[in-house]
Each structure stands twice: as structure tokens, then as C-alpha cells.
Amino acid sequence: MAAGLRAVRRWGLVAAAPPGLAFTRSAFVVKKANNAQPNWLGVGLAFTTSVVLWASLITQHNEDVMEYERRKQAREHKCTRCS
């Protein structure tokens, strides 16, 4: 970290800002959480995303099991007329 600050000073990359504001840590303001009014849109999106992902996972699993069973039966099928 210190080497980076030295490089910035050496190459003159510091803008003409007041000395105390040249290297501020963050531009974001942190607010205190308001637990009395939850973000229902965020809660709904998170829950819906979770449900959709689980549904697609279960659907894909069922398709994989059916494909596995189909291939297993095809391997066990020993008919001389098919080959």
C-alpha cells in the first residue's frame, strides 16, 4: 500500500485537491439498517431466485436419472435381431 502511494506522489498523479481529501477511502455512505421496514422486493427476488434454481436443479436431476435408466436398459438388451 505504501509503495503505491509513493508511486502516485512520485509521478504526480495526485490531482489538485485539498490535502485532506486527496485519498478518501470510499465515496459510499453507510446507512444504519432499518429493520422495521425490510426490503420486500429484495426478499422476494432472493426467494424467487432460490426457488427457480432448485426447480431447475431437480428437473435436470430427473432428466439425468431417466437418461441413465434408458442407457442402462439399452446395455442390458441382448437381442440378436437388433444387431
Q: Are 14 and 22 in contact (CB under 8 A)?
A: yes
6-56: pLDDT as tens digits: 665 666 655 555 555 555 666 677 788 788 898 999 999 999 999 999 999
Residue that has been written with the C-alpha cell 427476488 in this structure: 45
Residue 33: all three cell numbers together? 439498517
Q: What is the longest distance spanned by two Cα atoms in the chain?
A: 90
- The answer to pTM > 0.75 is no
Statement: residue 70 has pLDDT above 70: yes
pLDDT, residue 30, reads: 78
Predicted confidence (pLDDT) at residue 62 exceeds the cutoff of 70: yes
How does residue 79 score in pLDDT terms, banded at 50, 70 and 90? Answer: confident
Distance between alpha carbon 82 and the CA centroid of its chain, in Å?
A: 49
CB of 8 within 8 A of CB of 14?
yes
